Structure 1
Amino acid sequence: MKKKWMKLFSIVALSLAVTACGAAKQESSETKTGTAAQSEKASEGQTEKAASASTESDSFTYIIDGDTGNTLNPLTADDRYGLMTTHALYAPPYHIYGDGTIDYILAESMTPSEDGLTLTMKLKDGLKWSDGEPLTADDIVFTYDSINKISKNLYIGDDPITTEKQDDRTVLFHLPSVSASAMEMLSDEISIIPKHIFEGKENADISLLDDKVVGCGPYTFEEYKTGEYLKFKANPNYVKGKPYIDTLIYRIIEKSDTATLAMQSGEGDTLVLTPDMIEQYKGNDGFTLYNYSEGRVPYVRLNVNADTMKDKNYREGILKALNRDEIMLAAYGDKDYYELGYSFLPYDNKYYTDDVEKWDQDLEKAKELTKDGAKSLKLAYVTNNGVLEREGLAIQSELKQVGIDVELVGITDVAYSKMSREKGNKEYDIVLGGYVMGSDPDTFAMLFSSQKDNSMSFSNAEIDKLFEEGNATLDDSKRMEIYKKVQRLVSEEAIYYPLGTNLRTIVTKSNVDPEEAKLVPIYTYGDLSKLKFK
């Protein structure tokens, strides 16, 4: 399950920043921000010519800067490109958008009982796997039961949500107690997997090099070449109908300057940009820019597993040396592309409060608190990511001012994901990352609660109890007060330093029409079957 750690991972798939080659004519134009539907035409000249030169309506290429690796597990994938691959090949019962709208996909309804202890899922009629086998309630039960065997993310308190097949199209979800977040817990970050493929296997691992992939998503798997691309074909059995575009390609180009050249020469249809890459596309009718919020929270994590970070006073000193505005400005280059935040919740979440310990920079206090601690630290971030690298450089400079040397260590997406899942890992003292979670604050419990994934590897009984209490009441005013307390406690522990929320910018060829597909967190395109060319 991923909303999960959805992702602490590095959801760091923002492309490296570069300056483009070739002179595009610069024109003044208004930058659009906020909703995904707002767009901006971008740059004239050679890039315009290239952008329209090689598009074929039956093939769509998304340039990505990281490799998924040879193995995919649809139940545990937590890096951006693993999740994007899972999103193409599998489908959830339903998706809940940020505004609360429910898009039913495999399910046609999800109905709560009067006492709030049972949710009834009714599946759509005639569902099929990509191999033609029927998709039934047996697959739903198998998937959720498999998740409960490997994590506690579908637990309420000490007990799991259990499943019961009523008939081939109906599944009952039994809650051990009332849960305000149950509907979201059971929603779209669940990739339903085929029982007839995975039953009896030790796990849901799939070799992209050797295995036949059977899914229920908009696309079927065709080919993977390590370090080069993933190729998918439209699934004629997809519940929402065969996708408009026949072939989907995730082309792997880790170097941002090479990715930019490929995009400008017409070899790609979508590319994620960092702010310093945007200017070259402005005023070019061959491209369209989209600027939208994923609700992503970038953060600095102090690894309490490391011997250097055991002392709370020392951790406080590290945080007192930091300046979040300076770090974010270094990372994004312009304040138009981020908002500062002080809690683990994104600033636009209705439960967010900034009435927490902000750890405002105080260099003298930082020197005092760190004087007896380590003078050399290792900071991990995902390599080939200009944003994280610039964050790291800013932190390195700030800690240098209080007499602490920081070694920056870039690691791959796959290595980062593996490190993050290893409880007790003490290889790095500081870790940079970011996540996109759900809208309900209980979905963030997996970051800090020892009753869940506890991705930050920190245990506090009071925090555990408050998360449990917040999820157990449907009284929103009570929940507001509970989650304010949680935010304060997490901040006071000095294990985690949220930086705010950043916007995400993508550029597409001007003939790409994403309106029906919708721009969403993580995956970029919410409904891949509705992605099309104009």
Structure 2
Amino acid sequence: MKMNMRKSLTLVLAGAISLTLLAGCGGGGSPSETISSGSTAPIQKDSAILATSGEPTRFFPCGADGSNGNDYLVLNNIYDTLVFLDADGTIQPCLAREWSVSEDGLCYTFHLQEGVTFHDGTPLTAEDVVFTYDLSVQNSTGKALIINYDRAEAVDDSTVNIYLTAPYAAFLNGCASRAGGIISKAYYEQAGEDGYQSAPIGTGPYKFVSAVSGDTITLEAYGGYWREPAAIKTIYIKTMTDASTQIIALENGDIDAIRSPSISSCLNLNEASGATWASADSAGRVTMYISANSGQPGENADFRKAVQSAVNKEDVVQGATEGYATIIDIDMCPSYSGHPSGYQVVEQDVEKAKEFLASSGYNNEEFQIIVEAGTVSDTTAQIIQAQLMEIGINCTINAVDTPTFNDLWYAGTFGAMIRNTSSSLLDADGFLNYFMATEANYAQTLNNQYPRTQEIYDLGMEAREAQDDARKELYLQMVDICTEEAYEVPLFSNPSTMAYRSALQGMKVYPLGVVYFYDWSW
């Protein structure tokens, strides 16, 4: 049961946009001399202003404090990675022009591009790559993204071997992540992490100029970039927390793009002003996880199946995202590598849901859904609440702030929770995260103590080492267990959006919500 409502409309809205697809490190395009500004004469344009509601604060990819989605705006433009995750989910060359993998899957050999320099003019060598990876995996973000890393060695100045403790099918995804941004060994040894944070340098198409907290971050195209220099010479990343202000500024031409505007904001755009928008499936999926803990209604499997059968996903998608989402039937986005096929699907069946509820012995106990207040999960919960009440479930919603939500989640204190979960690796392995309470480096939690958690976990660890069809078969077993036992109700892949001036060329919507300014031109 898949749904892409209004996708054709989205394509029409973006139809005038020329998308340039280049292999590796984002796209690119040739700038025109001028752009049209509507009724006024053409004007010179070599800069762009992006508005974002969340301020980037971390400019060092290997830092102990990690980073968040807002930081991508800086990290992914200052730093290059060995390989690049394109908008279609494919791995492309970047700093590594080519690579190979040993037969046992334990050694990746990367051959570096020639003529690459850092923003201070020093050349990139294999030693910088080794140093970056050794440093990155010392923090929690690096450990979570560069999985099974053992060591790296410089074979020569332009060749690196990276060794794993065990095969990991999604290792290249980790290399393309924010934890894989290559830093300068010499500059780090001179400036340290604090110096790197205040004045970062990488090999990327843009170099850092300044950051005014709460206002604007300025990036400038690096003239010594190893490919053609970026078409847009200056980028301003402006923090604008009010969504209405963002839209007005875009329509007025005061800004040129908005990162991740809401669907409702995009639908209200006045295109006559020269603004448009585009959307695509993101790496985030919205799923309802039903607790099977003692004392919760979901302790009974038939109750969980009643909830599973009662949910109308079409209504959820229409109400929560104006129809701009892809329905999912397993807890993975369609774009994930390793995504299986042939899995079980539960269609909505109200009468069947009532039968399951009757056989569960349910006696009007409260079934509380926890969500983060004011999010798409909150809206989703309100729609599902009405559907569950229709079959006779006493469903309530506890909408709380993020810290409280996390406390309730880890403690397992809920009847169900609805989360918008993203996977930084864009891989099926992200499915396993919810079933890792037995892993040594994860907190012992009560949020997923299902009777078959250990079985799912063991299959997931086996899948990490498997390849191709064998890997997909293991994920198929995992998702079918969750469907059979009604541990979760996958709902939809949350759309990623960009709104921008129609004259801005090369706009691509990436699943992870990242923005590559190198794609852009006027």
Shorter-chain TM-score: which interval?
A: 0.7 to 0.9
- Match in the other structure for 1:403: 394
**Structure 1 unpaired stretches of 5+:** 1-28, 42-47
- Match in the other structure for 1:23: none
Preserved contact between residue 155 and residue 161 of structure 1 (Cα < 8 Å): no
What is the CA distance between 1:39 and its match in structure 2? 4.5
Structure 2 Cα separation of the partners of residues 245 and 273 of structure 1: 22
Range moving further from structure 2, 447-456 or 291-300: 447-456
What are the superposed Cα offsets for residues 172-213 of structure 1, whole Å, 9 maximum, x if unpaired? Answer: 1123344433333333442223334555999x67896xx222
Match of 1:290 among 272, 278, 288: 278
What is the CA distance between 1:427 and its match in structure 2? 8.2
Match of 1:464 among 446, 457, 468: 457
2:511 maps to amino acid: P
What are the superposed Cα offsets for residues 308-341 of structure 1, whole Å, 9 maximum, x if unpaired? Answer: 699465766765664433222111123xx22211
2:182 maps to amino acid: I
Match of 1:162 among 151, 155, 168: 151
What is the CA distance between 1:513 and its match in structure 2? 0.7
> Is 1:222 the counterpart of 2:196 in the alignment?
no
1:31 maps to amino acid: L
SS in structure 2 of the partner of residue 498 of structure 1: strand
Cα 1:393–1:131 shift into 2, 3 Å? farther
What are the superposed Cα offsets for residues 88-113 of structure 1, whole Å, 9 maximum, x if unpaired? Answer: 22221111436575432222221223
Preserved contact between residue 184 and residue 440 of structure 1 (Cα < 8 Å): yes
- Match in the other structure for 1:213: 200
What is the CA distance between 1:532 and its match in structure 2? 0.9
> Is 1:109 the counterpart of 2:102 in the alignment?
no
- How many residues are aligned here? 478
What is the CA distance between 1:376 and its match in structure 2? 5.2
SS in structure 2 of the partner of residue 267 of structure 1: coil
What is the CA distance between 1:120 and its match in structure 2? 0.9
Match of 2:421 among 410, 421, 434: 434
Cα 1:212–1:183 shift into 2, 3 Å? closer
Structure 2 Cα separation of the partners of residues 325 and 462 of structure 1: 31
- Match in the other structure for 1:57: 45
2:250 maps to amino acid: M
Range moving further from structure 2, 125-134 or 391-400: 391-400
SS in structure 1 of the partner of residue 500 of structure 2: strand
Range moving further from structure 2, 240-249 or 341-350: 341-350
Structure 1 Cα separation of the partners of residues 387 and 493 of structure 2: 21
Preserved contact between residue 145 and residue 425 of structure 2 (Cα < 8 Å): no
Preserved contact between residue 17 and residue 505 of structure 2 (Cα < 8 Å): no
What is the CA distance between 1:465 and its match in structure 2? 2.0
What are the superposed Cα offsets for residues 260-309 of structure 1, whole Å, 9 maximum, x if unpaired? Answer: 11111111211244443344446537233334333542233457899969
- Match in the other structure for 2:9: 31
What is the CA distance between 1:493 and its match in structure 2? 5.9
Preserved contact between residue 87 and residue 509 of structure 2 (Cα < 8 Å): no
2:9 maps to amino acid: T
Range moving further from structure 2, 497-506 or 281-290: 281-290
Range moving further from structure 2, 479-488 or 79-88: 79-88
Preserved contact between residue 105 and residue 239 of structure 1 (Cα < 8 Å): no
Preserved contact between residue 219 and residue 235 of structure 2 (Cα < 8 Å): yes
- Match in the other structure for 2:382: 393
> Is 1:67 the counterpart of 2:89 in the alignment?
no
SS in structure 1 of the partner of residue 254 of structure 2: coil
Structure 1 Cα separation of the partners of residues 470 and 212 of structure 2: 52
Structure 2 Cα separation of the partners of residues 424 and 179 of structure 1: 27
Cα 1:372–1:206 shift into 2, 3 Å? farther
What is the CA distance between 1:243 and its match in structure 2? 1.7
Structure 2 Cα separation of the partners of residues 443 and 119 of structure 1: 22
Length-normalised TM-score, structure 2: 0.75
What is the CA distance between 1:485 and its match in structure 2? 0.4
Structure 1 Cα separation of the partners of residues 225 and 406 of structure 2: 34
Match of 2:231 among 226, 244, 268: 244
Cα 1:357–1:439 shift into 2, 3 Å? same
Preserved contact between residue 101 and residue 109 of structure 2 (Cα < 8 Å): yes
SS in structure 1 of the partner of residue 493 of structure 2: strand
SS in structure 2 of the partner of residue 520 of structure 1: coil
Match of 1:149 among 108, 133, 138: 138
Cα 1:480–1:426 shift into 2, 3 Å? closer
Structure 2 Cα separation of the partners of residues 495 and 56 of structure 1: 57
SS in structure 2 of the partner of residue 66 of structure 1: coil
Structure 2 Cα separation of the partners of residues 360 and 283 of structure 1: 41
Matches within 5 A, 1:54-453: 57-68=45-56, 70-72=57-59, 74-75=61-62, 77=66, 79-97=68-86, 101-151=90-140, 152-153=143-144, 160-189=149-178, 190-198=180-188, 211-271=198-258, 272-281=260-269, 284=272, 286-301=274-289, 311=299, 322-334=311-323, 337-347=324-334, 350-355=339-344, 362=353, 365=356, 371=363, 374=366, 378-381=370-373, 383=374, 387-398=376-387, 402-411=393-402, 424=410, 430-438=417-425, 440-442=427-429, 444-449=431-436, 450-451=438-439
Query: Equivalent pairs: percent with the same residue?
Result: 21
SS in structure 1 of the partner of residue 136 of structure 2: helix
What is the CA distance between 1:355 and its match in structure 2? 0.7
What is the CA distance between 1:38 and its match in structure 2? 4.2
Preserved contact between residue 127 and residue 135 of structure 1 (Cα < 8 Å): yes
Preserved contact between residue 40 and residue 288 of structure 1 (Cα < 8 Å): no
What is the CA distance between 1:33 and its match in structure 2? 3.5
Structure 1 Cα separation of the partners of residues 42 and 245 of structure 2: 18
Preserved contact between residue 64 and residue 251 of structure 1 (Cα < 8 Å): yes
Cα 1:112–1:279 shift into 2, 3 Å? closer
Length-normalised TM-score, structure 1: 0.74
Preserved contact between residue 297 and residue 499 of structure 1 (Cα < 8 Å): yes
Structure 1 Cα separation of the partners of residues 11 and 88 of structure 2: 17
Q: Root-mean-square deviation (CA), in Å?
A: 4.3
